[in-house]
A and B are shown apart, each in its own frame.
Chain A
Amino acid sequence: MTDETILIEQLKNVQTKEKAFRDLISLYKERLYWHIRKIVISHDDTDDVLQNTFIKVFKNINQFNQKSKLFSWMYRIATNESITFINKKAKLSNVDISNYQQKLTSTIANDDFFTGDEIQLILQKAIATLPKRQKLVFNMKYFDELKYNEISEILETSVGALKASYFHAVKKIEKYIKTKTN
């Protein structure tokens, strides 16, 4: 039995659930944090979404059917939570999700928890201009260095479509960076 299978069994067992859940948080908190952070941008919002993600994992672990890896399942939940969060925020601000994210990114230079240099700032602004799916694919492939088949499991999209999305995203980012740096 693999470590993951054991962990899942412990998570589904009422007597071992709490201890296993603590281990699960320790194991994945940083990776999920950075995944969410790249979508919702601010630290405080990321903290909210991360906690909600783990709570959803805790409550729905019995529904996990092991057709995918546990990590992919959690990544998917984190992605969905982040998108829901951004949608709600955009709705409250009365703008569409794409405008909202561009607005968010335009203020990160003043964020205490953003220490990137000028080119990193331009890159974040370029990412904010991408359509939702291209943005997700780019972040997962470029920064998180996930493999296409892993992203495919998380987003339930074919590898071919992901490769095309990534290629278009990279091309748009390169064009954006060129216009801002020339």
Chain B
Amino acid sequence: MGKEIKNSIEDISKKKTGFSIPPNYLHNLEDTIAAKLLEENFPTETGFEVSDTYFNNLEEIILAKVSSDKNEIKVISFKVKVLKMIPIIAAASIILFIGLNSFVFKTTEAITIDSLSDDDLAIWLDYNTFTTNDIALVLEDDILEENDFYFSTIKDITIEDYINNSSYYIDLLNEID
């Protein structure tokens, strides 16, 4: 008797309805329902206002800007921005080189870091240390925007070349093999 019931339950569970659910739907269901319950206590409006006339002639304002931009199109590509950083880095390296030669490597004696006085090191650091503000000021106009990444189209072949030429990724690929 018990065996028969067990068999019929197994038969029912084998029957398919044809319905399906999106993958992982049941996985987050508890969170979804809990969030729904909690949010019932929140206000439904943001409280932000906008003047009644603001949207009236927005099209004209934006189109006027687009038209004036057409006469003076300034396209700064992602690549150009990166290339623009090279002279800054080169200039910093030259300053560092001259600085080291003038203050540190000028003497004929072999100098080690231990042979330098604390005062010399302090003076050098005082005059040669870049603060985060200095770096931020240099980067002010060159900072990459979120949309620079979004609009930059990097070809598959470029990515492939990068991976093939990067020893770090080659090591990773070898490990996978």
| Interface flag for A12 (CB, 8 Å) | no
Inter-chain contact A116/B48, CB cutoff 8 Å: yes
Bound Cα distance from A151 to B153, whole angstroms: 23
Question: Closest CB-CB distance, A63 to chain B, in whole Å?
Answer: 6
In whole Å, how far is A124's beta carbon from the nearest beta carbon of chain B?
Answer: 7
Instruction: Give the nearest-CB partner of B45 in chain A.
Output: A120
Question: Which residues of chain A from 12 to 71 have a CB within 8 Å of any chain B CB?
Answer: 18, 21-22, 25-26, 29-30, 33-34, 37-38, 43, 47, 50-51, 54-56, 58-60, 63
B47 touches A80 (CB 8 A): no
- Closest-by-CB residue of A relative to B66 is A58
Which B residues lie within 8 Å of A37 (CB)? 46, 48, 50
Instruction: Identify the closest chain B residue to A94 (Cβ).
Output: B133
Q: Which of B27, B34, B35, B153 contacts A160 (CB 8 A)?
A: B27
User: B39 interface residue, CB < 8 Å from A?
Assistant: yes
* Cβ contact within 8 Å between B143 and A80: no
Check if B34 sits within 8 Å of A25, measured CB to CB.
no
Determine whether B147 belongs to the interface, using a CB cutoff of 8 Å to chain A.
yes
The residue that B66 contacts in the complex, of A21, A34, A160, with Cβ under 8 A, is A21
State the main secondary structure of chain A at its contact with B: helix
Q: Is B110 an interface residue (CB 8 A)?
A: no
Which residues, 33 to 55 on B, are CB-close (under 8 Å) to A? 34-35, 38-39, 41-43, 45-51, 54-55
| Chain A binder among B10-18, B56-64, B83-91, B169-177 | B56-64
**In the assembly, what is the distance between CA of A81 and CA of B150, in Å?**
11
Q: Please provide the chain A residues from 107 to 140 with a CB less than 8 Å away from any CB of chain B in the complex.
A: 108, 113-117, 119-121, 123-124
Could you mark each residue 75-114 of chain A with 1 if its beta carbon is under 8 Å from any beta carbon of chain B, else 0?
A: 0110111011000100100000000000000001000011
Task: Report A's interface with B, CB cutoff 8 A.
Answer: 18, 21-22, 25-26, 29-30, 33-34, 37-38, 43, 47, 50-51, 54-56, 58-60, 63, 76-77, 79-81, 83-84, 88, 91, 108, 113-117, 119-121, 123-124, 142-143, 159-160, 163-164, 166-167, 170-171, 173-174, 177
Q: Supply 14 further A-B pairs (C-beta < 8 A) apart from A54-B66, A83-B146, A171-B38.
A: A18-B63, A22-B63, A26-B59, A50-B58, A77-B150, A108-B47, A113-B51, A115-B49, A121-B47, A142-B42, A166-B31, A167-B28, A167-B32, A167-B34
